[in-house]
Chain A
Amino acid sequence: MIIASRTVVPKASSRRRTRRLLSSDNSLPYLLLVPALIALGCILVVPLIYNIWLSFHEYNLLRPARNTFVGFGNYLKVIQDPAHVSSLFLTVRFTAITVLAEVILGTSLALLLNLPFPGNHFVRTLVLVPMLISEVVAGLSWRLIYHTEFGLLNYLIGLFGLSPQVWLGPDLALPSVMIVEIWQHTPFVTLIMLAGLQTVPRELLESSMMDGASRWQRFRYVVLPLITPILLLALVFRTMFTLRVFAPVWVLTGGGPADSTLVIGVDIYRAAFRYYNLGIAATLSIILLAVTLAITLVYMRLLRREALT
């Protein structure tokens, strides 16, 4: 009896606790989160853990029987290989230049589109078009535009008496790929900044005008402080996406000439799907993740400071 009561009581109490938990107002949101958390766990956490596991193994798909634990061996291999290291630095440089250009151009475009003028809505739609095109299709179209002998760009500069350029040659390949990236993703920044600009209270602008602030002063001291959190958000998103750039580089140059456009995305692809060396590919992607996280944390800290001030 005693044993029975001992076993029954906790069961009843736990059932009661569960019922209380279900009926409580506080717990319902958490319960509703469960399916989403399970889904996230399956598609995010499990592959991430598996990727980390892979990075500690010598794992080649062609030799599944010979996969062994190598500790930090893959990390050492990557760090000691100048090709991998230079691809990482190139990616950071590529990201810094393109994201900066996208933010300056995107913000300028947003400021322009925030002004009332006839056909404003049509122009807004037009500006967004590059963002809607698939990256591969955009890359292929730009390959034709950049073609030295038959491309549109050399035809256009020829009209001004300039000699044709080898846009995807050793000197211009990197800037040419960057232009495509900037062309395609500036609209994203424009879209975000435009939404941010529309949240700036009209009264503030009007009162600054009455105080005699110039157009630049209004932007610098009224608009900019108010849209800085949005600007940082655009920076975070664009930095995260650009660090893993792959399609435009792969389609336009394949990483060449002479590895001059070899970004880490292409390096990972080669390791994983050309050499089937999943260990090295996983290591490179973990390093990329660490770099992305570090940069994002800096942004988040800035964002938090902005929010507090």
Chain B
Amino acid sequence: MFRRLFFAAAVSITLGAGGVHAQTLTMLVSSGGSGRTFEAAAKHFSAATGIPVNVIQNPYAEVREKQLLELVGKTGNLDVISVDGTIWMPEVAPFLDPIDEQTTDTKHLIPSMVDLFRADGKLVALPVRIAGWVLIYRKDLFDAAGLKPPTTWEEFRFAARTLTKDGVYGFAPALRQGNYLVVQWIPFLFSHGGQILNKERTAAAFNSPEGIKATQFFVDLVRDGLVPPGATAYEQSDIITAISQGIAAMALTYSPYFLNMNNPKESKVAGKLAIAPSLPRDPATGMTTGRTLISGWGFGVAASSRNKKEAHQFIQFVASDAEQKRLAVENNNAPTASAVYKDPDYLKVFPAAADVQGALASASDRPLVESWTMIEDILARELSAAVTGTKTVKEALDAAEKAVNAAL
């Protein structure tokens, strides 16, 4: 109780410092690309409605921690709550004001994104930014070697092996122990027909023949020297650097990073990159394409907010077609409104948008369980042991299965 009060007081002081007055909406957002996007959205909303929005940017982990303490303490200091897909959903969903789907238009939004923010059948947030993992490749190197974007994992391995030469590695993954490693592995698991948990979400399902095959394939890329030697310490930002500096031919990463990699000011290979229309698949599974990982940010309204009406107005504004288009064109936001992907203005700044939408057509998110963070840390530890050769794939997955089942 003391700790909660202490944190609540600290956050209240921070929020109060912004000169909050009645009807001002207050929200915490993760700093960086998403923070800048949401800050722009808040300005557009204030200009359109006259309602001020106080957007406070904090590092990702702090937003999660502070929001939760405010919500648990029912302080009413926060009106709009940012939700990082299924990772944060189980924690914050019980404290969010349900969105009435009879009166709120959600049909213009990508359905799988809307589904991310449902808890017990109730919609509690609207998607405002997509985070989908796509296969980015060096078109110039592929063309020179007579290769096509891989449609199966064997083709992927062949391309990686062919292109690993002259200081270039076939594939740049993020393998540092942590969230990065787990989200890097998940598309491999999904596209080999594997699942993280069983359907009831009561037990681990990744230690299946499909899961073992996927993980062995993933680990072999490292053991066969098809990834940069330092990749075991790579985070997401290192993938951008590896591609931008021309030392890697492929990356399976978060779609908006394509814009950084393709930016002539930051990248040596701008204009030489493309996005594969789908992820590779394992033909033995009968899948027609690979299945990738999708997540994204949503905005919900705190049940303890004193400005619920205005807060609902704000989240609907940010999720609207017009605002999604504006944020996509001006702030590189990955839009959640389907229509934007066909918009000529957006295609002008992001010609690969159609490929992104295609690649994300077959996608799932992490399972919605309260203990996800713990499961993620277990998987990170064991996958790290497998990619660094401390354990065999079998040993790592056996240990992970046992620990995940205990955590569930």
Does B233 belong to the interface (CB within 8 Å)? yes
Does A62 belong to the interface (CB within 8 Å)? yes
Task: Tell me which residues across on chain B come within 8 A of A254, comparing CB atoms.
Answer: 176-178
Contact, CB under 8 Å: A50 / B384: no
Chain B interface bracket (under 10, 10 to 19, 20 to 34, 35 or more):
35 or more
Interface 9-residue window, one of A121-129, A163-171, A181-189, A206-214: A163-171
Query: Once bound together, how far apart are the Cα atoms of A273 and B377, in whole Å?
Result: 13
Contact, CB under 8 Å: A148 / B229: yes
Does A11 belong to the interface (CB within 8 Å)? no
Does B72 belong to the interface (CB within 8 Å)? yes
Contact, CB under 8 Å: A166 / B3: no
The closest CB in chain A to the CB of B403 belongs to A83
Query: Once bound together, how far apart are the Cα atoms of A64 and B69, in whole Å?
Result: 11
What's the least CB distance linking B108 to chain A, in Å?
33
The closest CB in chain A to the CB of B64 belongs to A273
Does A147 belong to the interface (CB within 8 Å)? yes
Contact check: which of A47, A61, A169, A270 meets B388 at CB < 8 Å?
A169
Task: Tell me which residues across on chain B come within 8 A of A148, comparing CB atoms.
Answer: 228-230, 233
Does A258 belong to the interface (CB within 8 Å)? yes
Would you give the 0/1 interface string for A56-94, flagging 1 where the beta carbon is closer than 8 Å to chain B? Answer: 000001101000000000000000000000000000000
Contact, CB under 8 Å: B370 / A168: no
- Summed over the interface, the residue pairs from A and B with CB atoms below 8 Å come to a total of 96
Known: A149-B242, A166-B232, A168-B233. A257 touches B68 (CB 8 A): no
**Chain A interface residue count, Cβ-Cβ cutoff 8 angstroms:** 32
Taking chain B's interface residues, is the majority helix, strand, or loop, or is none over half, making it mixed? helix
What's the least CB distance linking A190 to chain B, in Å?
30
Would you give the 0/1 interface string for B151-194, flagging 1 where the beta carbon is closer than 8 Å to chain A? Answer: 00000000000000000000000001110000000000000000
What's the least CB distance linking B58 to chain A, in Å?
13
The closest CB in chain A to the CB of B180 belongs to A254
Contact, CB under 8 Å: A273 / B374: no
What's the least CB distance linking B50 to chain A, in Å?
37
Contact check: which of B65, B380, B384 meets A273 at CB < 8 Å?
B65
Contact, CB under 8 Å: A256 / B72: no
Query: Once bound together, how far apart are the Cα atoms of A11 and B232, in whole Å?
Result: 76
Which B356-375 residues have C-beta < 8 A from chain A? 370-371, 373-374
Task: Tell me which residues across on chain A come within 8 A of B371, comparing CB atoms.
Answer: 275
What's the least CB distance linking B407 to chain A, in Å?
9
Does A274 belong to the interface (CB within 8 Å)? yes
Task: Tell me which residues across on chain B come within 8 A of A274, comparing CB atoms.
Answer: 373-374, 377
Contact, CB under 8 Å: A256 / B229: no
Task: Tell me which residues across on chain A come within 8 A of B238, comparing CB atoms.
Answer: 147
Query: Once bound together, how far apart are the Cα atoms of A56 and B257, in whole Å?
Result: 46
Does B61 belong to the interface (CB within 8 Å)? yes
Does A150 belong to the interface (CB within 8 Å)? yes
What's the least CB distance linking B222 to chain A, in Å?
11
Contact check: which of B72, B389, B391 meets A61 at CB < 8 Å?
B72
Q: Of residues B228, B230, B373, B385, which shows the largest number of chain A Cβ atoms within 10 Å of its Cβ?
A: B230
Does B4 belong to the interface (CB within 8 Å)? yes
Query: Once bound together, how far apart are the Cα atoms of A146 and B391, in whole Å?
Result: 25
Which A159-183 residues have C-beta < 8 A from chain B? 164, 166-170, 173
The closest CB in chain B to the CB of A259 belongs to B381
Query: Once bound together, how far apart are the Cα atoms of A150 and B233, in whole Å?
Result: 13
Would you give the 0/1 interface string for A238-270, flagging 1 where the beta carbon is closer than 8 Å to chain B? Answer: 000000000000000111111110000000001
Would you give the 0/1 interface string for B181-212, flagging 1 where the beta carbon is closer than 8 Å to chain A? Answer: 00000000000000000000000000000000
Contact, CB under 8 Å: A62 / B370: yes
Query: Once bound together, how far apart are the Cα atoms of A247 and B95, in whole Å?
Result: 32
Contact, CB under 8 Å: B384 / A258: yes
Task: Tell me which residues across on chain B come within 8 A of A164, comparing CB atoms.
Answer: 229
Does A276 belong to the interface (CB within 8 Å)? yes
Contact, CB under 8 Å: A257 / B377: no
Contact check: which of A147, A255, A278 meets B230 at CB < 8 Å?
A147
The closest CB in chain A to the CB of B68 belongs to A61
Does B241 belong to the interface (CB within 8 Å)? yes
Contact, CB under 8 Å: B390 / A258: yes
Contact check: which of B65, B91, B232 meets A170 at CB < 8 Å?
B232
Query: Once bound together, how far apart are the Cα atoms of A254 and B235, in whole Å?
Result: 11
Would you give the 0/1 interface string for B380-396, flagging 1 where the beta carbon is closer than 8 Å to chain A? Answer: 11101101111100000
What's the least CB distance linking B71 to chain A, in Å?
10
Query: Once bound together, how far apart are the Cα atoms of A254 and B177, in whole Å?
Result: 7
What's the least CB distance linking B333 to chain A, in Å?
26
The closest CB in chain B to the CB of A276 belongs to B68
Contact, CB under 8 Å: B177 / A258: yes
Contact, CB under 8 Å: A258 / B65: no
What's the least CB distance linking B380 to chain A, in Å?
7
Task: Tell me which residues across on chain A come within 8 A of B384, comparing CB atoms.
Answer: 256-259
The closest CB in chain A to the CB of B238 belongs to A147
Task: Tell me which residues across on chain B come within 8 A of A146, comparing CB atoms.
Answer: 233
Query: Once bound together, how far apart are the Cα atoms of A148 and B231, in whole Å?
Result: 8
Which A27-50 residues have C-beta < 8 A from chain B? 46-47, 50
Query: Once bound together, how far apart are the Cα atoms of A254 and B234, in whole Å?
Result: 11
Task: Tell me which residues across on chain B come within 8 A of A258, comparing CB atoms.
Answer: 177, 381-382, 384-385, 388, 390-391
Task: Tell me which residues across on chain A come within 8 A of B61, comparing CB atoms.
Answer: 273
Query: Once bound together, how far apart are the Cα atoms of A62 and B68, in whole Å?
Result: 8
What's the least CB distance linking A286 to chain B, in Å?
15
Contact, CB under 8 Å: A257 / B390: yes
Q: Of residues A148, A167, A253, A260, which shows the largest number of chain B Cβ atoms within 10 Å of its Cβ?
A: A148
Contact, CB under 8 Å: B245 / A270: no
5 contacts between A and B (CB under 8 A): A61-B69, A149-B229, A169-B230, A274-B373, A274-B377
Q: A interface vs B, CB < 8 Å?
A: 46-47, 50, 61-62, 64, 146-150, 164, 166-170, 173, 253-260, 270, 273-276, 278
5 further contact pairs, Cβ within 8 A, besides A46-B2, A169-B232, A275-B373:
A146-B233, A168-B176, A257-B385, A258-B391, A275-B371
